[in-house]
Amino acid sequence: MRSVFTTFAGKLQFFTMPEISIRGHEMPESPIRKLAPLAAAAKKRGTKVYHLNIGQPDLPTPREGLEALKNINRDILEYSPSQGYQSYREKLVGYYKKYNINVCADDIIITSGGSEAVLFAFLSCLNPGDEIIVPEPAYANYMAFAISAGAKIKTIATTIDEGFSLPKVEKFEELINERTKAILICNPNNPTGYLYTQKEMNQIRDLVKKYNLYLFSDEVYREFIYTGSPYISAMHLEGIEQNVVLIDSVSKRYSECGIRIGALITKNEEVRKTVMKFCQARLSPPLIGQLIAEASIEGTEQYSREVYDEYVERRKCLIDGVNRIDGCYTPVPMGAFYTVAQLPVDDTEKFCAWCLKDFCWKDEKTPADKIGETIMMAPASGFYSTPGMGHNQVRLAYVLNKKDIQRALFLLDKALETYKGLENND
């Protein structure tokens, strides 16, 4: 024992500090947040930055939620149950019923944001080395949670030319092997805004059934569907009730990103029992967030309608505007509040960084207290795992008001013009 150790210690003299983990190295930096230091620097210089990069809605939280916050009257801010409050879970049953999702309170586990629901689903259902098939482009943090759990994301490409619709069954079957344990979808989709059709959802159902897979379905944008097309939840699919794990969050639907309240919902009791062990380890989801989320369910129809109408307008404003810019193209997203757009540049990572570092537009519309204006976008490459994909695409979020979206698009046009001039002069 001692001699083994001496050899080991002998090797150690080369290191001055302990190493970080391999998965720590593998973890991607957030594509949405990694330009943040450049944006901060631009703002420090006095530049106004229009954020088309983030999914933080600017619309208010429902009055009912804010009032619940004001009315909290407790002397001790104590733990809540690991599974979340019974009363909140019971209210959620009614909420889901409106979407024809029939669950009981025991099927629902409250999590710290949708993020924790994804992580706990992966930890509970997947072994290290197991594979999950995900249509790409995809929400970048799925990759991070997969790495955390030691699982592998295998992406199946969707393309801007086909409007990011679901690839054919054969494409999935090419990827399926003995390590494939799950399909993960986000519906309506972040970042593409795509909404899966009944036919596509049936196709997923058949694959899940045939190969006995889990179906992780992230449906946090169900409030934001603009086409009149039906919302088909994974929970609506018959015959795979034991396979479906629904991921949810109140962040987007109530503008409550900061309260960190999500949910993991499944009819599979064994999965629930396992997820609960992870939940017990982290003791409890946020107490105050649950009180706010519970009250927000009581929000008026009018609130939902106003928010919805606002996004309809913004969507039109953004999509029409992007497609009017020379060389830009985006399909019309059916849901969520994002779109993936193609820009006439070779490398949007460089272009987006350049917009923050080197571009600063000034005209008579620039606010008097600013030295100029620019835009921040999320380079789409961060939403693809396949190297080289999305290099000429960006994700644009329409969480700004129409006036700001219009101004941002004007700036995008000017930025592209300037950037092109620079390239030609190179």
- Residue 50 and residue 399: Cα distance in Å, rounded? 11
Contact present, 235 and 216 (Cβ < 8 Å): no
* Dihedral sign for Cα atoms in the order 188, 190, 194, 198: negative
Nearer Cβ to its own copies, position 14 or 387?
14
Nearer Cβ to its own copies, position 170 or 426?
170
Q: How many residues would you count in the chain?
A: 426
Nearer Cβ to its own copies, position 242 or 323?
242
Nearer Cβ to its own copies, position 34 or 316?
34
Nearer Cβ to its own copies, position 27 or 103?
27
Nearer Cβ to its own copies, position 215 or 341?
215
- Name the nearest CA neighbour of 214 among 276, 283, 275, 282: 275
- Joined together, the tokens standing for residue 371 give 């030295």
Residue 375 beta carbon to its own copies: minimum distance, rounded to whole angstroms: 20
- Residues contacting residue 154 through CB under 8 Å, at least 6 positions apart: 131, 132, 133, 134, 175, 180
Nearer Cβ to its own copies, position 229 or 304?
304
- Joined together, the tokens standing for residue 301 give 């129809």
Q: Please provide residue 340's backbone torsions phi and psi, each rounded to the nearest 5 degrees.
A: -105, 125
Residue 48 beta carbon to its own copies: minimum distance, rounded to whole angstroms: 19
Nearer Cβ to its own copies, position 280 or 323?
280
Residue 85 beta carbon to its own copies: minimum distance, rounded to whole angstroms: 11
Residue 163 beta carbon to its own copies: minimum distance, rounded to whole angstroms: 28
Nearer Cβ to its own copies, position 163 or 299?
299
Residue 153 beta carbon to its own copies: minimum distance, rounded to whole angstroms: 13
Residue 280 beta carbon to its own copies: minimum distance, rounded to whole angstroms: 4
- Strands, E assignment, 46-191: 47-51, 108-111, 131-136, 152-157, 180-186
Residue 228 beta carbon to its own copies: minimum distance, rounded to whole angstroms: 29
- Residue 376 and residue 31: Cα distance in Å, rounded? 12
- Residue 92 and residue 401: Cα distance in Å, rounded? 30
- Name the nearest CA neighbour of 262 among 271, 253, 270: 253
Nearer Cβ to its own copies, position 342 or 381?
381
Residue 291 beta carbon to its own copies: minimum distance, rounded to whole angstroms: 10
- Buried-state track 119-141, b at ≥16 Cβ within 10 A, e below 16: bbbbbbbbeeebbbbbbbbbbbb
Residue 258 beta carbon to its own copies: minimum distance, rounded to whole angstroms: 3
Look at the block and give the residue holding tokens 């961060």: 382
Residue 413 beta carbon to its own copies: minimum distance, rounded to whole angstroms: 29
- Name the nearest CA neighbour of 271 among 92, 162, 138, 125: 125
Residue 378 beta carbon to its own copies: minimum distance, rounded to whole angstroms: 13
Nearer Cβ to its own copies, position 261 or 380?
261
Distances (CA, A) of 236 to 12, 202, 310: 56, 10, 28
227 three-state secondary structure? coil
- Residue 381 and residue 367: Cα distance in Å, rounded? 32
- Joined together, the tokens standing for residue 414 give 């000017």
